[in-house]
């Protein structure tokens, strides 16, 4: 049903340690680093709250979503031919931020591992949500504020529409920083035909991103 906001909770798959290492910027899987990752994973066990709120909106063309407009040639290209979109916000909860602050004062390496685990977990949550939606729809790759030429300022527009602060406890401050920090908002086009899963990094012009995947 269009314009209704839905909420989903998820049980995520086991963490991908290779991805965690990548987010940590670790070049090698040393025993020390793997030990820290394992300890950090134990700290997060049972303390994450993976949740998503989403809605389905009509899409006209040229960045026009009927109730708001966004300016982005890359987004327009991504949504070409779509007549509907999914808007969603996802978070793994605030406990991870509290743990990271705590261990930042005790063990910086553990804090780094916790940050990397959060990055891996929010990506896993987004992937799980997309997987669920693909059972019903043909989807384009998700597209977030800050990707390509879609201004980060459009984050506020998505918050105004989705109201994630009342749905999943996700807030946005005046500097456009989300809290909890390990959170994502995005737009996904619903297509009439099956689409290929292009890596999100392929849409982004930030070539020097430390997390950028090889394409």
Domains of the chain, earliest start first:
6-201 (3.40.109.40)
Confidence of residue 11 (pLDDT cuts 50, 70, 90): very high
Confidence of residue 201 (pLDDT cuts 50, 70, 90): low
Mean pLDDT, residues 1-9: 87
User: Lowest-pLDDT range, 17-21, 105-109, 184-188, 203-207?
Assistant: 203-207
Q: According to the model, what pLDDT value does residue 215 have?
A: 40
Query: Residue 84's CB: how many other CB atoms inside 10 A?
Result: 17
SS3 assignment for the chain: CCCCCEEEECCCCCCCHHHHHHHHCCCCCCHHHHHHHHHHHHHHCCCCCCEEEEEEEECCCCCECCCCECCCHHHHHHHCCCCEEEEEEEECCCHHHHHHHHHHHHCHHHHHHHHHHHHHHHHHHHHHHHHHHCCCCEECCCECCCCCCCCCCHHHHHHHHHCHHHHCCCEECCCCCEECCCEEEEEEEEECCCCCCCCHHHHCCCCCCCCCCCC
pLDDT tens track for 117-172: 999 999 999 999 999 999 999 999 999 999 999 999 999 999 999 999 999 999 99
Confidence of residue 213 (pLDDT cuts 50, 70, 90): low
Q: According to the model, what pLDDT value does residue 197 have?
A: 59
Mean pLDDT, residues 175-204: 83
Task: Give percent of the chain with pLDDT exceeding 70.
Answer: 90
Q: According to the model, what pLDDT value does residue 3 have?
A: 80
- On average, the pLDDT of the chain sits at 92
The answer for residues whose C-beta is within 8 angstroms of residue 110's C-beta and 6 or more apart is: 36, 39, 40, 43, 103
Beta-ladder partners of 172: 178
pLDDT at 209 over 80: no
pLDDT at 44 over 60: yes
Residue of higher predicted confidence among 38 and 198 = 38
Q: According to the model, what pLDDT value does residue 193 have?
A: 84
pLDDT tens track for 54-78: 999 999 989 999 889 999 999 999 9
Place of tokens 């086991």: 14
Mean pLDDT, residues 104-123: 97
pLDDT at 204 over 90: no
pTM for the full predicted model: 0.90
């Amino acid at each position: 049903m269009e314009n209704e906001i839905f909420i989903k909770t998820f049980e995520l798959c086991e963490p991908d340690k290779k991805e965690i290492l990548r987010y940590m910027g670790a070049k090698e899987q040393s025993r020390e680093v793997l030990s820290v990752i394992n300890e950090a994973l134990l700290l997060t066990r049972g303390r994450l709250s993976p949740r998503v709120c989403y809605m389905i909106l009509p899409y006209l063309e040229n960045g026009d979503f009927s109730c708001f407009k966004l300016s982005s040639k890359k987004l327009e290209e991504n949504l070409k031919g779509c007549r509907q979109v999914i808007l969603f916000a996802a978070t793994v909860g605030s406990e991870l931020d509290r743990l990271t602050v705590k261990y930042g004062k005790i063990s910086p390496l553990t804090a780094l591992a916790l940050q990397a685990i959060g990055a891996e977990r929010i990506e896993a949550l987004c992937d799980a949500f997309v997987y669920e939606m693909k059972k019903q729809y043909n989807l384009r790759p998700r597209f977030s504020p800050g990707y390509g030429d879609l201004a980060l300022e459009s984050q506020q527009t998505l918050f105004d529409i989705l109201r994630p602060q009342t749905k999943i406890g996700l807030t946005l401050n005046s500097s456009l920083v989300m809290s909890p920090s390990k959170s994502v908002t995005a737009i996904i086009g619903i297509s009439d035909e099956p689409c290929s899963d292009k890596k999100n990094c392929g849409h982004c012009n930030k070539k020097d991103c430390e997390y950028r995947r090889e394409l």
